[in-house]
Structure 1
Amino acid sequence: MTKTIRGVLDALYFACGILAALCLVAILVLIVLQMVARWTGEVFSGAPDYAGYAMAAASFLAFAHALNRGAHIRVAILLVNVPPKARRWVEVWCFAIGTALAWYFVYYGVRFVYWSWKFNDVSQGTDATPLWIPQSAMLFGAFVFALALTDHLLALFTDGHHRIVDNVVEQSHGE
């Protein structure tokens, strides 16, 4: 059963990474369409707003995937200089704080999206997009990130190590 859960979680993190990449492609398409519209004398209203929504969605959707790939900045200078037993507890402490903050954000994000939906809050642009729609994409990404942090925290307790892959190639460029 744990292999099934592990497979579902890994697939979810990867799918969020793909969705984040698609959001970046959407930003590119929106910018190119806006440029073409300007060159032809047309108006593509709302393009900057939609690009902003896609950027927020891309950022939050990529968090969990980036965490699993070791692309987040971690304070390794402390972790490599402590004994292995102490390192485990420092990592537990860091993941516990990160997990608590992420779930705190999700809790208030749910309330924020709910009230935007309830009051029918719309964007200030001419497109008048209901704001709960782009906020929901951000909230989903934050939820998956909180889930990933919880996953790694539980792995620290059960296995003694997290499941973050060390990104050795990226780390070597800074040395």
Structure 2
Amino acid sequence: MIARTDGREPPAAVRAILAAIDAACAVGAGVAAIAAAALALILITEVIVTSFFEWSQPWAVEYPVYLQCVVLFCGAGWTLRQGGHIRVAVLMQALPPGAARLLDMAGTVFAIGVIGFATWALWQQWFRTLDFGSTSFYPMNTPLWLPQGLLTLGVTLLWLAFLARLTRLVLELPADLSAGLTGGGVE
């Protein structure tokens, strides 16, 4: 963890929680990378099989959709920590550091609210899917709790990453690991 420039360290419990969230987001990024590789493999296989054998795989339409969601959401928390999400860096750089930090905090609080609602709704949907035993309408009849669970975990990781970001901003720690364009935190 990067310490504050004034030398004061956050409490050990806060450091441990932030490290745990960062580690969980890194695992989510690993899952997203594996899903991206699987997605590429499925699409390449589908192109080859359809081109040379004129036969389409029954799962070639269904599973890429699930994998796209996994790639998008399971890696989002890690991307946030790396400073990879889209922001208006020009505005952040034009503001004094304190104002930029307050604006970053306001945007982060807004994101926590929106993503928090999405997280709650996805968990509710996932529990309903488990309860009903829903399956996809595709020929594979995939139990929908599996792709919905991965999506729900990915969005939950993003929500946790925003909570960690807000904590870092409040404690005047660097909000993300990228150098330069953030405007928030102490760099």
Bin for the TM-score computed over the shorter chain: 0.7 to 0.9
1:134 aligns with 2:147: yes
Distance 1:167 1:35, change over 3 A: farther
TM norm structure 1: 0.87
Paired residue secondary structure (1:44): coil
Residues 5-55 of structure 1: CA deviation (Å, up to 9, x unaligned): 333222222111111111000001111222333223444102111011011
Equivalent AA in structure 2 for residue 145 of structure 1: L
1:19 aligns with 2:31: yes
Counterpart of 2:43 in structure 1 is 31
TM norm structure 2: 0.82
Q: How does 1:13-162 map to 2 (within 5 A)?
A: 13-38=25-50, 39-158=52-171, 160-162=172-174
- Residues 71 and 167 of structure 1 are in contact (CA less than 8 Å); yes or no, is this contact kept in structure 2? no
> Equivalents in 2 of 1:26, 1:108: separation in Å?
28
> Equivalents in 2 of 1:91, 1:79: separation in Å?
8
Amino-acid identity (%): 21
- Residues 69 and 167 of structure 1 are in contact (CA less than 8 Å); yes or no, is this contact kept in structure 2? no
Distance 1:152 1:126, change over 3 A: same
- Report the Cα offset of residue 120 of structure 1: 2.4
- Bigger helix share: 1
- How many residue pairs were aligned? 168
- Report the Cα offset of residue 136 of structure 1: 0.7
- Report the Cα offset of residue 168 of structure 1: 5.7
> Equivalents in 1 of 2:42, 2:21: separation in Å?
31
- Report the Cα offset of residue 126 of structure 1: 0.8
- Residues 23 and 57 of structure 1 are in contact (CA less than 8 Å); yes or no, is this contact kept in structure 2? yes
- Report the Cα offset of residue 138 of structure 1: 0.6
For structure 1, list consecutive stretches of 5 or more residues without a partner in the other structure: 170-175
> Equivalents in 2 of 1:116, 1:83: separation in Å?
48
> Equivalents in 2 of 1:167, 1:58: separation in Å?
25
1:8 aligns with 2:20: yes
> Equivalents in 2 of 1:68, 1:20: separation in Å?
15
For structure 2, list consecutive stretches of 5 or more residues without a partner in the other structure: 1-11, 182-187
- Report the Cα offset of residue 164 of structure 1: 0.9
- Residues 74 and 155 of structure 2 are in contact (CA less than 8 Å); yes or no, is this contact kept in structure 1? yes
